Amino acid sequence: MSGIAGIYNLDGSPVKREHLGRMVDILAHRGPDGADIWCEGSVGLGHRMLWTTPESLLEKLPLVDRTGNLVMTADARIDNRDELISALSLHDRPAEKITDCELILAAYEKWGKQCPEKLIGDFAFAIWDQRNQVLFCARDHMGVKPFYYYHHPGKFFAFASEIKGLLCLEAVPRKINAAKVGIFLCQLSGFAELKPETFYQDILRLPPAHWMELSERGLECKSYWDLDAEAKKIQQVLKSDSDYVEAFRERFTEAIACRLRSIYPITSTLSGGLDSSSVSCVARNLLRQQNPEAELLTIYADCGVPSTDEKTYVNTVLAQGGFKHYIGQVSSPISSAQTVTPWLDQPVQMPTPAMLLTIVQSVHQQGARVILTGHDGDTIVSHGQDYPNELIELREWQHLKKIVDAGFGYTKDANDAADLEKKIKLELYKYFLPYLKELIKNFKIKKYIQACYGAFRNWSFSPRNMVGLLGKSIYQNLRWVKWRAHNSFINANFARQINLGQLLQAEVDYQFAYLPSEYLNHYRGITSGNLLEGTEQIDAISSALAIESRHPFLDKRLVELCLAAPAHLKFCNGFGRGVMRRAMKDILPEEVRRRGSKVDFYGFIVPGMETDERNLIDDFFLAKDSNLSQYLDTNALYQEYQDFSNSATRWLQRRRRARIIACAMFLSVWLRDLSNLGE
């Protein structure tokens, strides 16, 4: 992890060093090991250095090539170094003397715009091509390294690793993106479409797997990675389930091995879940191949709430040996937002930043700079929960019931056979109703009747119950969209000004669109805005303490394989992420490998809001934030808080109201922080 920044005055005026210096200075936390800037005429590049890999000790950035024609700044870790060194014929010195940025620059010299296609790793970089008078920028396949920019056509262009690196310039406006705020307040839970927009009207992100070329002629931005095509190539090669399981183990191990390059101790999150446990166990094995006495430092964030306690699973992993374990105590589910919001340059978009903050602080306290994560293994590997759609379409009634039955046998408790049968029916309804709604939506009446008959004959579903449940579901969906758009705690004038109802409907149509196959739904998840924004927030919180988070599940080679895997292997015998579970046999403890449950961290947030955070929330409502009132009906919001505080309120309602209150407080903290910047 490092920090990058740059300015290109498109009107030809010279870049002022003090402007570039201001950008580099505000990113100081990203690179405590050095800073430098390069300016020549209308272009300037800046860099903050963080040493993590052996090669990074040799880096000097911005880097000027031997001809003086190319200059680059980068935040990069390149993983296919040997392959590139061979392809670029860089044999004039030992490989360990060649830096990652030298590889990128040589790749640009040889392949031009195609160079990002040749790179594997995490990177964001900009190259000034003096001969062609163009600024070439690129971002890695999954957007692990951030890249934000502001463009005033024909006048001015600036980029930075963090939005604050742009906001420090007078030429960059601080206009809030009201539409983004409106959707944020609606708290949708589906896979959002990936868009370049941020919470600032005129500041954009370079999308993952895209390059951008800027000159006086204009700006061109294109994707360089076809994930679908790469997945289909794999499907042509791998034919059996065992092929995919073996390939997963190989690629997963390779992804972790690439992320072990470090001059500082390696750490890893260990929550007791399937993802972090798999990463930790494989990393431990790799370290012990190098040194049989090596121990991997693992970090657990302890919320102190029984419903979120996963230490039983953690201890099962630790019992294998080869770990040094550290437990960080999580203290404040809401007030942690006050700490991290200035780092994020936007409202917090996760249930709570407290656990991530605790992990990063723990890594910092241990004197490490790199942490491996299990970030979004759920999305990348896929639970395969849309595989039932395919079986329903194919009328494979008994097969679907069989795998749902198997899943309940492993992961759900039932008091008796009748109770189990009832739960299985409810699970089948969950998959079947969306399919019926899609048939009705497209007026496929014949297929609708055939489907109902098949469900009646094979699952003993009552046609009357199906019609009733379907009608209720459709009504609730319509009512839900209307309620979200005219939510009682959202300021009605604000909602009208941004046409929130229309914005929300478009979001819902995308996020919850019925897709007939697991492959399409899996692709939607991998390429979603949720995954990217989560990755960006992890980067911002980590980098604030000069920590680099590395995510093995976001390795492009592993992503391509996971998408390619057959649907029945993703949803295998009722288990989600079947290919991974099979690949981790004899690596993970069985209790973890076969674990089917996940923790709901609102079990931590709700009690915290009732006890430790109570004074903070009371002060929040007493303050009557004037910035917030233009977006929210503060009286209605206060009523939500009163209802939340009512001990008679049911858990699900308390959970919903906790989300509303947290969302409002996160927005308020960001607005206040923005005001402090001079808004």
- β partners of residue 219: 214
Short-list 455, 474, 461, CA closest to 512: 474
The pLDDT of residue 646 is 78
The CATH number of residue 150's host domain is: 3.60.20.10
Residue length of the chain: 679
- The domain boundary residue, chosen from 168, 198, 224: 224
| pLDDT tens by residue, 103-118 | 999 999 999 999 999 9
- 144 shares a domain with 128: yes
pLDDT band at 416 (very low <50, low <70, confident <90, very high): low
User: Is the same domain home to 554 and 501?
Assistant: no
Tens-place pLDDT, residues 192-235: 999 999 999 999 999 999 999 999 889 999 999 999 999 999 99
**CATH number for position 557:** 3.40.50.620
Question: Is a pLDDT exceeding 90 seen at residue 619?
Answer: no
Residues paired with 148 in a beta bridge: 160, 205
The CA distance from 495 to 178, in Å, is 10
Last residue within a domain, chosen from 224, 257, 284: 224
Domain assignment present for residue 389? The answer is no
- Percentage above 70 pLDDT, the chain: 92
Strands 148-152 and 63-64: unpaired
Residue 655 domain-assigned?
A: yes
Would you say residue 425 has pLDDT above 90? no
What average pLDDT score do residues 265-290 get? 98
172, 193, 224 — which closes off a domain? 224
Per-residue burial over 335-350, b = 16 or more CB atoms within 10 Å of its CB, e = otherwise:
bbbbbbbbbbbbbbbb
pLDDT for the residue 467: 65
Backbone angles phi, psi at 141, to 5 degrees: -60, -40
Q: Bridge-partner residues for 324, per DSSP?
A: 297
> Which residues fall within 8 angstroms of residue 356, CB to CB, at 6 or more apart?
301, 350, 537, 538, 541
pLDDT above 90 coverage of the chain, percent: 67
CB of 267 within 8 A of CB of 371? yes
Residue whose entry in the numeric block shows the structure tokens 């014929």: 89
Q: How confident is the model at residue 273 (pLDDT cuts 50, 70, 90)?
A: very high
| pLDDT exceeds cutoff 90 at 486 | no
Closest by CA position to 213, among listed 140, 133, 152: 133
Query: How confident is residue 472, by pLDDT bands cut at 50, 70 and 90?
Result: low
The answer to whether the beta carbons of residues 670 and 346 sit under 8 Å apart is: yes
Instruction: Report yes or no: 268 and 276 within 8 Å, Cβ to Cβ.
Output: yes
8 Å CB contact between 10 and 156: yes
188 neighbors 487 (Cβ within 8 angstroms): no
Residues 183 and 275 in one domain: no
Summarize pLDDT for 566-587 with one digit per residue, the tens: 999 998 877 789 999 999 999 9
Residue 413 pLDDT exceeds 50: no
Residue 146 β-bridge partners: none
- Whether 355 and 445 share a structural domain: no
What's the pLDDT at 410? 47
The pLDDT of residue 481 is: 52
Shared-domain flag, residues 63 and 191: yes
Closest CA to 667 of 425, 341, 427, 228: 341
Check residue 606 and give its pLDDT: 84
Q: What is the mean pLDDT of residues 473-482?
A: 54
Is the residue at 527 inside a domain? Answer: no
Q: Are 598 and 576 in contact (CB under 8 A)?
A: no
464 within some domain: yes
Q: φ and ψ at 358, to 5 degrees?
A: -60, -40
The residue with greater pLDDT, 555 or 513, is 555
What integer is the mean pLDDT of 623-640?
A: 87
Predicted local distance difference test score (pLDDT) of residue 429: 65
> Does residue 320 share a domain with residue 280?
yes
pLDDT at 387 over 60: yes
Residue labelled with tokens 């580099």: 24
Q: How does pLDDT run across 337-380, given as a tens digit for each residue? A: 999 999 999 999 887 799 999 999 999 999 999 999 999 999 99
Closest CA to 231 of 218, 242, 244: 244
Say if residue 513's pLDDT is above 80.
Answer: yes
Q: Are residues 253 and 342 in the same domain?
A: yes
Whether 625 is in a domain gets the answer yes
Neighbour-count burial for 281-318, b at 16+ CB within 10 Å, e otherwise: bbbbebbeeeeeeeebbbbbbbbebeebbbeebbebbb
CB 122 within 8 A of CB 258: no
Q: What is the mean pLDDT of residues 549-554?
A: 99
**Run of H or E including 473:** helix 463-485
Q: Work out the pLDDT band at 444, boundaries 50, 70, 90.
A: confident
pTM assigned to the model: 0.93
The mean pLDDT of 442-457, rounded to a whole number, is 76
For residue 654, is it within any domain? yes
pLDDT, tens digit, 9 for 90 and up, residues 51-82 = 999 999 999 999 999 999 999 999 999 999 99
Enclosing domain of residue 648: 613-676
Average pLDDT over residues 460-468: 67
Check whether residue 17 and residue 82 sit in a common domain. yes
Q: What are phi and psi of 426, to 5 degrees?
A: -60, -40
pLDDT band at 552; cut points 50, 70, 90: very high
Mean per-residue pLDDT over the chain, rounded: 90
Those residues whose C-beta lies under 8 Å from the C-beta of residue 534, and which sit 6 or more positions away, are 349, 350, 375, 376
pLDDT score recorded for residue 465: 66
60 found inside a domain: yes
Number of domains in the chain: 4
Q: Are 90 and 194 contained in the same domain?
A: yes
315-340: per-residue pLDDT in tens?
A: 999 999 999 999 999 988 888 999 99
Sequence-distant contacts of 171-174: CB under 8 A, at least 24 apart: 172/202, 172/203, 173/200, 173/201, 173/202, 174/200, 174/674, 174/677, 174/678, 174/679
> Closest Cα to residue 378, out of 580, 186, 114, 601?
580
Q: Do 44 and 173 fall within a single domain?
A: yes
Q: Is residue 191 part of a domain?
A: yes
Q: Are 186 and 265 members of one domain?
A: no
Query: For 535-562, what is the mean pLDDT?
Result: 98
pLDDT given for residue 397 in this prediction: 79
Same domain, 261 and 233: yes
> Could you give phi then psi for residue 323, rounded to 5 degrees?
-125, 150
